[in-house]
């Protein structure tokens, strides 16, 4: 008699460490308020790159986070209220 192994749809199919370490925290969707002209340009760029606007927006924000963390983004605080 052949002994059958129980298989699970949720079982891991690969062993070992993944090539890229992914964060364990959950993804949370947030809206981004941009001008219509800015969304139009994002849509155009996404089309040029073969992506959709969501993919491009996620990539751009994650790129910014990496650059900022690496000290590659220069920021300058400007006072905008009179008298300050």
Residue 84 has pLDDT above 60, yes or no: no
Domain boundaries, the chain: 36-69
Q: 42: closest CA among 55, 30, 31?
A: 55
Please tell me whether the overall predicted TM-score, pTM, comes out greater than 0.85 for this model: no
State residue 19's pLDDT score.
66
Dist CA 10 CA 22 (whole Å): 19
Residue 1 has pLDDT above 70, yes or no: no
Dist CA 7 CA 26 (whole Å): 27
């Amino acid at each position: 008699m052949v002994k059958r192994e129980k298989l699970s749809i949720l079982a891991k199919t690969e062993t070992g460490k993944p090539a890229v370490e992914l964060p364990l925290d959950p993804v949370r969707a947030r809206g981004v308020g941009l001008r219509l002209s800015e969304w139009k340009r994002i849509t155009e760029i996404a089309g040029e790159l073969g992506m959709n606007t969501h993919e491009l927006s996620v990539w751009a924000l994650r790129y910014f986070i990496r650059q900022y963390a690496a000290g590659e983004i220069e920021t300058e605080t400007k006072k905008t209220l009179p008298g300050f």
